[in-house]
């Protein structure tokens, strides 16, 4: 459009012409802009899932991974070996030993004021040298039998030592002197020795 044509147009025609020009420019810009393409869902998933990182053999990373794995395996093997050695070193039998004391005031009779050998009466005459000492394991099975030694007097009463040898290892044990009832001890207490039982 030239100047003469523009001047000959009314105000309304000029406004319409300006709108037409703006519409043409908008169409031109739309034609030049690329149309965005939608990606298929599987393409997004494939992009999100990346293949594992490849570690080249002989590289520093590979050597570090190998050293870490080797250290873990060595630690596990060492733990197994130590546990096996501990099991081999642990004795398979125990010696159950201790003292049965009948407290003074229970009818104890002493040989003299020097508290030498003692014998018992007044309902305790079954507690004497040679009285059976029975040790049972955690299942209640008799695991060993011993006997009381000679009684020795003290200010506490009359004490009899005992020993039951070659008792198979168990989680816990019960010890009974004669028929005076069972007393339970742990394996640790038996291994420490010097079990204490008392009457009266």
Distance of CA 28 to the CA centre of its chain: 76
User: Helix count (H) and strand count (E) of the chain?
Assistant: 5, 9
As to burial, measured by CB atoms within 10 angstroms (0-12 exposed, 13-18 middle, 19+ buried), residue 94 is buried
pLDDT at 193: 85
For the segment 145-167, the average pLDDT, to the nearest whole number, is 89
Residue 41 has pLDDT above 90, yes or no: no
High-pLDDT (> 90) share of the chain, %: 30
What pLDDT score does 121 carry? Answer: 77
Question: Is the separation of the CB atoms in 173 and 197 below 8 Å?
Answer: no
Write down the domain spans for the chain: 3-28, 93-199
Q: Tell me: the pLDDT tens digits for 60-92?
A: 676 676 677 777 787 787 778 676 565 555 569
| Mean pLDDT score, 13-23 | 78
Locate tokens 């009314």: which residue?
10
Higher pLDDT, 174 or 33: 174
Distance CA 157, CA 109 (A): 9
Confidence of residue 151 (pLDDT cuts 50, 70, 90): confident
> What letter does residue 73 receive in the DSSP assignment?
H
10 to 17, 23, 48: CA distances (angstroms):
11, 20, 62
- Average pLDDT of the chain is 77
Q: How far apart are CA 54 and CA 63, in angstroms?
A: 14
Beta carbons within 10 angstroms of residue 75's beta carbon: 10
* pTM beyond 0.85, yes or no: no
Q: What percent of the chain has pLDDT over 70?
A: 70
- CA distances to 64, 78, 140 from 135, rounded to whole Å, are 57, 37, 9
Burial letters for 119-135: b for 16+ Cβ neighbours within 10 Å, e otherwise? bbeeebeebbeebebbb
Q: Strands 118-120, 132-136: parallel, antiparallel or unpaired by DSSP? A: unpaired
Model confidence at 31, pLDDT cuts 50, 70, 90, reads: confident
Mean pLDDT of 37-41: 59
- Taking the alpha carbons of 95, 183, 103, 155 in that order, is the dihedral positive or negative? positive
pLDDT computed for residue 113 by the predictor: 38
pLDDT bin (cut points 50, 70, 90) of residue 51 is low
């Amino acid at each position: 459009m030239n100047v003469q044509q523009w001047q000959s147009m009314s105000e309304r025609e000029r406004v319409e012409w300006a709108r037409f020009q703006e519409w043409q420019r908008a169409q031109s810009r739309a034609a030049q802009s690329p149309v965005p393409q939608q990606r298929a869902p599987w393409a997004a998933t494939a992009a999100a899932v990346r293949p594992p990182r490849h570690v080249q053999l002989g590289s520093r990373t590979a050597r570090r991974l190998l050293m870490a794995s080797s250290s873990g395996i060595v630690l596990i093997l060492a733990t197994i070996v130590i546990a096996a050695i501990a099991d081999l070193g642990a004795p398979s039998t125990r010696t159950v030993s201790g003292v049965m004391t009948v407290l003074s005031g229970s009818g104890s009779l002493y040989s003299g004021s020097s508290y030498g050998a003692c014998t018992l009466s007044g309902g305790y005459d079954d507690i004497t040298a040679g009285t059976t000492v029975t040790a049972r394991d955690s299942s209640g099975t008799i695991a060993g039998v011993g006997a009381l030694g000679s009684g020795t007097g003290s200010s506490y009463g009359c004490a009899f030592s005992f020993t039951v040898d070659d008792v198979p290892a168990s989680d816990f044990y019960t010890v009974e002197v004669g028929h005076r009832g069972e007393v339970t001890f742990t394996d640790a207490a038996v291994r420490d020795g010097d079990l204490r039982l008392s009457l009266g």
